[in-house]
Structure 1
Amino acid sequence: MDQKIKFHKYQGAGNDFILIDNRDKVLNNISNALVKHLCDRRFGIGADGLMLLQNTNELDFEMVYFNSDGREGSMCGNGGRCIVAFARDLGIIKDKTVFLAVDGEHYATIQREQVKLGMTDVNEIQKDGEAYVLHTGSPHYVTKANNLTQLDVYQQGYAIRNNSTYRQDGINVNFVEKEGAGYFLRTFERGVENETYACGTGATAVAMAMAIEEDLNGPLEIPIRALGGQLYVSFEKNGQRFTNVILKGPANFVYEGFIAISL
């Protein structure tokens, strides 16, 4: 039996997502195969991930996020910013919100296309050789690169994500290069298993790693340019403790439509 489902497409710095208003439980038992089909860029709608906006007690809404490989994912920063814009466009919120995600509560403010999203505090950063390893809602590996525009991010990112250390749980692999007052970032994302145009938790991880690399402390805002647009990460840094973490960047409506799915 086929059912037509309404969807919306949003993108944040080129990180694109399918969003479905699931407050009325139009999708109850979503399967890995269905998510993979919807996210497929040839046979479905096409996206880096799928999000359901659902009701939750006490907070404005719940964000349920799936990677394009079909599995439910960890926190997605750009996805979080896009679902805030979606909630605003649905009339659920106005210019601020507190919502539930897989890693807990998040607050956000929105002004036109710019969304500021509160991210989780980080208290521990490890090293793997010269690289930094940390968890900003999702696990990240951060390594510096030279001539990043020419780097084969897929090949090198795939090799790190699938090495003996990270193969089982996976990790997002970020390559970063100094650029003016900020940094240029390219990311191989687990769950997508390819390079994406931006990664919000990756930008957050890179900003923190580079603050440690340059021994910066206090209140900081660090510009991070991804392939798909400009992001900004701010926080209070005290040693290796990061608090008041905010990811800022654009979140844009792209289009809406209906797709027939088999239930």
Structure 2
Amino acid sequence: MKGAYYSATGNNFLVVDSRNISLSEEEKRLLVLKYVGESDGAIFVESGFMDYFNRDGLRAAFCGNGARTYVHFIHEKENSGSVEFSSHAGVISGQVEDVVSVKMPPPRFLGSFEEEKYRGEILVVGVPHLVMEGSTEAIDWGALLPLRHLYDANVNIYSVIEAGNLRVRTFERGVERETGACGSGATSVAWVYSRKTGHNKVALQANGGLLTVTFRDGAAYLGGGVEKCSEELELQL
């Protein structure tokens, strides 16, 4: 089977073309552990379905930048400007224009949390996220690990650069480190910020580049760049 490495605004993935083959969960896990390496995870592009695994070899219900990469891949292979597919978080639609954008799973607000000196909001955008406003200059992720495990969630910290323009950093579960960007994390942060300020379009500067989240008609749309970073590889189990 064929695969290649892609980057979606600094979120790095192995993309496996499994449109015409059937792989078991165990076979996917083995491919992840063998080939993902220092990337963040693997996207299995099945016919009309995205199956996403983090670099630890475990399936995740969703990945926002992974969904954008799926759309880019189908556009690249099938010359389709608009793409609709299923995922473990529901049906996702996307399109390729100046950027690659997807309609995200509806953000679900689960409430606020307060643990010692940390406080913020808990959301699910396909996968769970903690969102906190604070300094994004020097973050001690080690001190935040208890929160990540207590809530079994990704941890996002954001600061305001100017109105509608944020800096965001994310520690992703399953990757177990800070990543270059996190699409569902950016959407969670934008939802919290929009709820506070009323901004319907939010620009988020991640380590790997710029993401945008736009809210319209009750839905959240995530946009940003995607690029192919390698030649196609022959993958072996």
TM normalised by structure 2 equals 0.91
**Residue 206 (structure 2) aligns with:** 226
Residues 1:20 and 2:12 are matched in the alignment: no
2:108 and 2:124 in contact (8 A); partners too? no
% identical equivalent positions = 29
The 5-angstrom pairing of residues 177-192 of structure 1 reads 177-181=159-163, 182-192=165-175
Alpha-carbon separation, structure 2, partners of 1:236 and 1:260: 41
Match of 1:136 in 2: 125
Indicate the SS of the match to 2:27. Answer: coil
Deviations along 1:168-195, one digit per CA (max 9) or x if unpaired, are: xx10000111112311000000010111
Query: Match for residue 94 of structure 1?
Result: 80
Change (3 A) 1:124 1:34: same
Provide the C-alpha distance between the structure 1 equivalents of 2:157 and 2:61, rounded to a whole number of angstroms. 20
Are the structure 2 counterparts of residues 36 and 205 from structure 1 closer, same or farther at C-alpha, using a change threshold of 3 Å? same
**In structure 1, which of residues 149, 172, 182 is the aligned counterpart of residue 154 of structure 2?**
172
1:159 alignment partner, SS class: helix
Q: Normalising by structure 1, report the TM-score.
A: 0.82
Q: 1:106 offset after TM fit, Å?
A: 0.8
Q: Distance in 1 between matches of 2:72 and 2:158?
A: 28
The equivalent position to 1:117 in structure 2, one of 102, 115, 132, is 102
- Residue 178 of structure 2 is matched in structure 1 by 195
Structure with max Cα Rg: 1
- The answer for the alignment partner of 1:149 in structure 2 is 137
Match of 2:193 among 200, 206, 210: 210
Is the aligned partner of 1:254 residue 2:229?
Answer: yes
Q: Read off the aligned partner of 1:224 and give its amino acid letter.
A: L
Structure 1 residue 259 displacement after superposition: 4.7
Letter in 1 for 2:59: E
1:13-52 correspondence to structure 2 within 5 Å: 13-25=9-21, 27-28=23-24, 29-41=26-38, 47-52=39-44
What letter corresponds to residue 227 of structure 2 in structure 1? Answer: N
Cα distance in structure 1, aligned partners of 2:125 and 2:89: 10
Q: Deviations over 1:110-141 (max 9, x none)?
A: 025x1110012235341002300011111000
* Number of aligned residues: 231
Provide the C-alpha distance between the structure 2 equivalents of 1:260 and 1:109, rounded to a whole number of angstroms. 28
Partner SS, residue 76 of structure 2: helix
**Which runs of no fewer than 5 residues in structure 1 stay unpaired?**
42-46, 56-60, 238-242
- Partner SS, residue 8 of structure 1: strand
Question: Which structure 2 residue ranges, 5 or more long, are not aligned?
Answer: none
Please give the alpha-carbon distance, in whole angstroms, between the structure 2 residues aligned to 1:253 and 1:31.
21
Which residue in 2 is equivalent to 1:126?
A: 111
Q: Give secondary structure in 2 for the equivalent of 1:149.
A: coil
The 1-side partners of 2:147 and 2:189 are apart by: 16
